[in-house]
Amino acid sequence: MLNLDKFQEIFDTVKKNKLRTFLTCFSVAWGIFILIILLGAGTGLENGVRQEFSRDAINSVWIRRGQTSKPYKGLQAGREIQFTNEDYEELQRTIEGIEYISSRFYVWGNNNITYKDNYEAFNIISAHPEHQYLENTQLMKGRFINVRDVEQRRKVAVIGNQVETALFKKKHAIGEYIGINGISFKVIGTFTDERDEWQQRLIYLPISTGQRVFNGKNKVHVISFTTGNSSPEEGAAMEKKARSILAQRHHFDVKDERAVHIGNRWEEYLKFMRLFGGIRIFIWVIGIGTIVAGIVGVSNIMLIAVKERTREIGIRKALGASPWSIIDLILTESIFITVVSGYAGLILGVGVLEIVSKYVPPSTYFRNPEIDVTVAVGALLLLVFAGCVAGFIPARKAAQVKPIVALHDE
């Protein structure tokens, strides 16, 4: 009954000061609402970046040929660097810690791809078997290129799901033959890539076959590898060694970054994660600042409430109420107002995030804005603490009221 009486008093106080209480509750609710929205938006950005990076292996290093920008040992600047199969083999043999490695030979342009009376134009990538792990290729049916395909220069192809749809309609493609610029290739697998529609329109061939059929000789356009469980520092050392090996083989200054372009996805990923760590801290600072503004409002109305109820508090103490019972009443009212209004802001914020997540289509760098359950619980605990802080000064002031002074208060 004591608890019921206490909350009945709180409700009576709220009813007497509806506008004042509403405005105070709104400020607290708005603060937690802004915090939840900002945290959800930050998570949406982070999800988008993670999804973008997951298109390829995160711990991958991609080496693309370029053009020298510095003279080196009598050789002029402006030379085109051309990778070869020997470069791939040298990196594979020399660099320790490589998990998967593949080279690429592109066949871009107006490739005429046919199946019976159907024909389309698709791009072709000739690669090694381990390329599947570098691109995170998701096989739907059949298999990917294997070592024997490369060794025996087999005329086999793995096609994207959009290639299959365009050429075969509803028919299964595995085991069928397609024409690539007039040469027959057997379809051994189909794949998809939910994160990259462009990938779905590709055809993969064994690198040895592509080089031979399309007059590539031993040319290579891109070499890539993964660093396994290596640390970021070890991955950077592997990248540096790859540049050094290629500089020695192709006779360019190792400091000439335009000669070969090396992209370390793990380093780029860590940079983004550090950036998002800073963004999260910034969001919490802004959000907590907004909540503090609301809490100050709660503290102010509690001080006003104590002043208005000075005579009532004096009568309570004259009848034997302990200082703690007075403090308990004021603190409970403060916590109640803070938690109820904060919970309303929390629910509203989560609801808005759910609506955005459901109805706003994901983009390249923003998808699925959401709030972690632990963060939501933490926000509620923060509200309880904030309510205690907001009510502490008014409660202490109320506990110090002297009955004889309060009874003379008008």
The answer on pLDDT for 1 being more than 50 is no
The single-letter code of the amino acid at 177 is Y
Where do we find the tokens 């660097």?
Answer: 81
Question: Do the Cβ atoms of 203 and 85 come closer than 8 Å?
Answer: no
Helix (H, G, I), strand (E, B) or coil at 74: coil
The answer on pLDDT for 363 being more than 70 is no
Predicted pLDDT at 375: 72
Terminal alpha carbon distance of the chain: 31
- pTM confidence score: 0.67
More confident residue, 109 or 250: 250
Predicted pLDDT at 171: 87
Three-class SS of 128-192: CCCHHHHCCCEEEEECCCCHHHHHCCCCEEEEEHHHHHHHHCCCCCCCCEEEECCEEEEEEEEEE
pLDDT tens digits, residue range 324-357? Answer: 777 777 777 777 777 788 788 888 888 888 888 7
Please, which residues have CB within 8 angstroms of residue 220's CB and are 6 or more apart in sequence? 83, 84, 85, 87, 88, 103, 104, 105, 207
Quickly list DSSP for 321-332: --HHHHHHHHHH
Phi, psi of 284 (to 5 degrees): -65, -40
Structural domain boundaries of the chain?
Answer: 2-53+270-407, 67-99+227-258, 104-217
pLDDT tens digits, residue range 130-188? Answer: 999 888 888 999 999 999 999 999 999 999 999 999 999 888 899 999 999 889 999 99
d(CA 322, CA 329): 11
Please, which residues have CB within 8 angstroms of residue 198's CB and are 6 or more apart in sequence? none
pLDDT tens digits, residue range 69-114? Answer: 999 888 899 999 999 999 999 999 999 989 999 999 999 877 889 9
Quickly list DSSP for 212-242: HHTT-TTEESEEEEE-TT--HHHHHHHHHHH
The answer on pLDDT for 307 being more than 80 is no
pLDDT tens digits, residue range 198-226? Answer: 788 899 999 999 999 998 889 999 999 99
Lowest mean pLDDT among 62-76, 269-283, 380-394: 380-394
Predicted pLDDT at 22: 79
Please, which residues have CB within 8 angstroms of residue 391's CB and are 6 or more apart in sequence? 298, 299, 302, 330, 331, 333, 334, 335
Distances (CA, A) of 332 to 3, 11, 378: 10, 12, 20
pLDDT tens digits, residue range 234-243? Answer: 888 999 999 9
Question: Do the Cβ atoms of 197 and 209 come closer than 8 Å?
Answer: no
Phi, psi of 66 (to 5 degrees): -140, -145
Predicted pLDDT at 92: 93
The answer on pLDDT for 370 being more than 70 is yes
Helix axes 265-308, 323-359, angle to 10 degrees: 140
Q: Which of 98, 177, 174, 104 is nearest to 141 (CA)?
A: 174
The answer on pLDDT for 403 being more than 80 is no
d(CA 17, CA 22): 8
Please, which residues have CB within 8 angstroms of residue 82's CB and are 6 or more apart in sequence? 65, 219, 250
Indicate the average pLDDT of the chain: 82
